[in-house]
């Protein structure tokens, strides 16, 4: 009896195609990771309902990276020993970076969903892809927004984290050849409460607008303290300011008019496919997905499914080849999904948002 | 020149809060020669308890903003005084006769405990004070914009510090605290109840720290469970700057640190603001190793 059980269990395991999910299920980004798992479970259930792929069921194996590079390296090893053929994730760039080579050496496809640091795809790794955009695209969109709003004097403020500083430098480089001058360029210390000294100094540089590339807690405080001193300069933020808590911290009055760049929020995804996905998600979990990055994880999963279907195999080399060259997935939840030779997603993803009087994030045309 | 005065007022408001927290460090150090590392977390506990009371009792709706905030401040001070004495009972008194290092480790442990308790109870996300309690307008004074809230906060911290100064200098209990600070054994021989003095110090210090937390909540709106660390570090620096163990020193040190930070950010570099503040601290310690007002501890009472 015992042996029989083992044999059937073994046979079943061989039958499923295992897709790994490496995400921050605990730690500071736990809400992102939990939602990534919810999205993948929903999509996998859909695929299995339709009979699976290559007549095999899909099994999602989730491992927690804790938002921490060291934990992530262990999670990667664990996923590999469990025989996954592809891994979706993860969110933070430094966390992804710690696992890239581990997967690559084991010939496992990795599709990151939130890691936007430019260098990740500059290493020539054959099996690495990402569905999220890169920081340099964000810089271009920021400059484009500044140009369109006809601002001539820009103050650039970052917070010395590698992400925010990188974005600020990107923008500074792009503005060099334009008729827009940077009248102020400096960094604040994140985690403090009082930024009035910085605001006073910026105000004296008389900028037309302020570009802040850091995170939402500081952005909220800046907006609030700016209003306290009756300074009406427009603020533009990078995608790390995209969080409803921004409005809570700043207050609706101070947040109104704040412009930020972001991949489209789940509620603004245009395609029919996306809408039916959002509907299904809402039905299953009782709330719509909050984060675009969990939806991007879903796109990673979908595109891997497409590739397996198209090649008719689970061989990493064949999947990587087809992802690099042939896949043009028009039905992606976040729009068309194609990859370039580096494994980066082709096409522009970032959109411009503005906060309205009610504190809602409104997509700008 | 306008910018100079604007930055000066920015720095004064921040410095007032640093000074209130620094008083807690310096009072405890004065009587116990112990750096109470949990003090920064008592400060954040004050901010969280203030928010809870504010929201659950709706004080400002019932009593109006002035009376509401005053009552709220008194309640927070009362609660923090209780937390402070409990901290002393549980974490410090059993180690009174042990080597000093044991008490420091216990203080660090208490800090971690308090911080994680806050996270456990209130969650890891930012908590936000209601926005409509205090006026959010600015007063235009000779071309300098001074938000009214900031003036109120600075005024409140000055009043509290003046009250503490009078308490320490003019009352019998205050004299006892100063006596214990100078020589614990001699004070005991003179019939002073040292345990009672220490208890009072742990009533007053945390109460001031807690009310500073409340002020930060009201002024900046946003609080989180790790904020005690950075404020604690700054206030500790302020206490050393003014001369640790010396009460007027903590007040001077706090206000001075706030002003140095603001002016350093204004005229040198924002990113180097903290480095400038600590550089000034080192300079002052080289010239006056006991801090600005450090020597007055040894005065005759």
Domain holding A245: CATH number? 3.40.50.2300
A196 touches B at CB < 8 Å: yes
Domain count for chain A: 2
Neighbour count for residue A179 (Cβ, 10 Å): 7
**Considering only alpha carbons, which residue of chain B is nearest residue A196?**
B10
Q: What is the pLDDT of residues A131-144, one digit of tens each?
A: 998 888 899 999 99
| A172 and A252 part of one domain | yes
Give the mean pLDDT of chain B: 88
A51 touches B at CB < 8 Å: no
Give the pair of three-digit tokens for residue A307.
């590739």
Q: Name the pTM for this structure.
A: 0.79
Please state, in angstroms and rounded to a whole number, the distance separating the CA atoms of residues B208 and B204. Answer: 6
| B236 band by pLDDT with thresholds 50, 70 and 90 | very high
pLDDT at residue A332 in the model: 87
In a domain, A152, yes or no: yes
| A231 and A279 part of one domain | no
A chain contacts of residue B219, beta-carbon cutoff 8 Å = 193
pLDDT at residue A14 in the model: 53
| A87 and A57 part of one domain | yes
Does position B301 have pLDDT exceeding 60, yes or no? no
User: What percent of chain A is modeled with pLDDT above 70?
Assistant: 96
pLDDT at residue B10 in the model: 87
| A127 and A8 part of one domain | yes
**Considering only alpha carbons, which residue of chain B is nearest residue A30?**
B124
| A109 and A196 part of one domain | no
| A273 and A320 part of one domain | yes
Minimal Cβ distance to A188: which of B10, B125, B270: B270
H or E stretch covering A156: strand A153-158
Give the residue among B181, B168, B154 at the shortest CA–CA distance from B243: B181
Q: Residues 6 or more apart from A360 whose CB is under 8 A from it?
A: none
Mean pLDDT to the nearest integer, B265-274: 85
Q: Most B CBs within 10 Å: which of A157, A196, A214, A290, as the mutation test of the B interface? A: A196
Residue linked to tokens 């570090």: B233
Strand partners, A337: A329
Q: Most B CBs within 10 Å: which of A29, A228, A252, A290, as the mutation test of the B interface? A: A228
Distances (CA, A) of A174 to A140, A143, A146, A154, B294: 7, 7, 11, 13, 53
CA B198 to chain centroid? 18
| A11 and A127 part of one domain | yes
Q: Which of residues 151-170 of A touch B (CB under 8 A)?
A: 160
In a domain, A336, yes or no: no
Given a contact cutoff of 8 angstroms between Cβ atoms, the answer to whether B239 and B22 are in contact is yes
Mean pLDDT to the nearest integer, A106-121: 92
Look at A224 and B13 and tell me if their CB atoms are within 8 Å.
no
In a domain, A359, yes or no: no
Integer-rounded Cα Rg, in Å, for chain A is 22
| A54 and A22 part of one domain | yes
| A127 and A273 part of one domain | yes
B chain contacts of residue A201, beta-carbon cutoff 8 Å = 3, 7, 265-266, 270
A201 touches B at CB < 8 Å: yes
In a domain, A354, yes or no: no
Does position B135 have pLDDT exceeding 80, yes or no? no
| A128 and A142 part of one domain | no
| A162 and A41 part of one domain | no
CA A225 to chain centroid? 29
Please state, in angstroms and rounded to a whole number, the distance separating the CA atoms of residues B140 and B16. Answer: 21
Q: What is the pLDDT of residues B58-105, one digit of tens each?
A: 877 778 878 888 999 999 999 999 999 999 999 999 998 888 889 999
Look at B138 and A220 and tell me if their CB atoms are within 8 Å.
no
Minimal Cβ distance to A197: which of B10, B147, B231: B10
Q: What is the DSSP letter of A265?
A: P
pLDDT at residue B145 in the model: 75
Structural domain of residue A255, as residue ranges? 136-262
| B268 band by pLDDT with thresholds 50, 70 and 90 | confident
A chain contacts of residue B270, beta-carbon cutoff 8 Å = 186-188, 197-198, 201
| A165 and A105 part of one domain | no
Please give, rounded to a whole number of angstroms, the shortest distance from the CA of A282 to a CA of chain B. 24
Look at B221 and A249 and tell me if their CB atoms are within 8 Å.
yes
């Amino acid at each position: 009896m015992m042996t029989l059980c083992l044999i059937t269990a073994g046979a079943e395991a061989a039958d499923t195609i295992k897709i790994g999910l490496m995400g921050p299920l605990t730690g500071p980004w736990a809400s992102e990771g939990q939602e990534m798992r919810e999205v993948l479970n929903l999509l996998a259930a859909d695929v299995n309902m339709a009979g699976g792929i290559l007549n095999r069921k899909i099994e999602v194996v989730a491992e927690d990276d804790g938002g921490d590079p060291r934990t992530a390296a262990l999670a990667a090893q664990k996923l590999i020993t469990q025989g996954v053929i592809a891994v979706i994730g993860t969110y933070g760039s430094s966390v992804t970076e710690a696992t890239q080579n581990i997967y690559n050496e084991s010939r496992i496809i990795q599709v990151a969903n939130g890691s936007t640091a430019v260098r990740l795809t500059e290493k020539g790794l054959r099996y690495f892809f990402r569905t999220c955009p890169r920081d340099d695209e964000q810089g271009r969109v920021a400059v484009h927004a500044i140009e369109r709003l006809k601002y001539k004097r820009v103050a650039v403020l970052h917070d010395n984290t590698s992400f925010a500083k990188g974005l600020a430098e990107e923008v500074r480089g792009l503005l060099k050849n334009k008729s827009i001058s940077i009248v102020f360029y400096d960094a604040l210390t994140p985690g403090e409460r009082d930024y009035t000294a910085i605001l006073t100094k910026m105000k004296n540089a008389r900028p037309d607008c302020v570009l802040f590339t850091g995170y939402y807690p500081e952005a909220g405080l800046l907006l609030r303290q700016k209003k306290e001193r009756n300074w009406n300069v427009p603020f533009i933020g990078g995608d790390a300011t995209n969080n409803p808590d921004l409005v809570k911290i700043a207050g609706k009055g101070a947040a109104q008019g704040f412009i930020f760049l972001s991949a489209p929020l789940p509620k603004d995804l245009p395609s029919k496919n996306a809408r039916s996905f959002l509907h299904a998600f809402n039905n299953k979990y009782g709330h719509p997905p909050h984060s675009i990055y969990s939806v991007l994880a879903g796109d990673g999963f979908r595109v891997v499914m497409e590739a397996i279907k198209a090649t008719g195999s689970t061989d990493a080399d064949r999947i990587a080849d087809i992802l690099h060259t042939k896949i043009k997935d028009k039905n992606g939840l976040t729009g068309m999904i194609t990859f370039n030779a580096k494994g980066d997603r082709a096409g522009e993803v970032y959109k411009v948002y503005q906060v309205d009087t009610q504190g809602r994030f409104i997509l700008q045309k | 020149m306008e910018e100079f005065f604007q930055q000066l007022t920015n720095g004064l408001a921040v410095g007032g809060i640093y000074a209130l927290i620094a008083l807690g460090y310096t009072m405890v150090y004065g009587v116990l020669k112990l750096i109470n590392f949990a003090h920064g977390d008592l400060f954040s506990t004050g901010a969280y308890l203030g928010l809870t009371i504010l929201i659950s009792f709706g004080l400002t709706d019932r009593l109006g903003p002035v009376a509401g905030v005053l009552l709220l401040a008194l309640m927070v001070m009362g609660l923090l005084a209780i937390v402070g004495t409990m901290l002393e009972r549980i974490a410090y008194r059993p180690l009174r006769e042990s080597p000093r290092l044991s008490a420091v480790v216990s203080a660090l442990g208490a800090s971690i405990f308090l911080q994680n308790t806050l996270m456990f109870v209130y969650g890891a996300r930012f908590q936000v004070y209601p926005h409509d309690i205090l006026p959010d307008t600015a007063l235009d004074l000779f071309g300098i914009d001074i938000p009214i809230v900031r003036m109120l906060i600075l005024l409140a911290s000055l009043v509290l510090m003046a009250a503490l100064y009078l308490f320490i200098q003019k009352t019998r209990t205050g004299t006892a605290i100063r006596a214990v600070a100078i020589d614990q054994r001699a004070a005991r021989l003179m019939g002073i109840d040292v345990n009672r003095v220490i208890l009072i110090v742990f009533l007053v210090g945390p109460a001031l720290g807690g009310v500073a937390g409340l002020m930060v909540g009201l002024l900046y709106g946003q609080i989180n469970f790790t904020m005690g660390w950075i404020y604690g570090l700054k206030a500790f620096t302020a206490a050393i700057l003014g001369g640790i163990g010396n009460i007027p020193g903590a007040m001077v040190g706090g206000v001075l640190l706030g002003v140095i930070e603001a002016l350093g950010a204004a005229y040198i570099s924002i990113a180097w603001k903290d480095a400038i503040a600590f550089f000034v601290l080192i300079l002052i310690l080289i010239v006056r190793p006991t801090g600005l007002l450090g020597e007055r501890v040894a005065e005759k009472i």
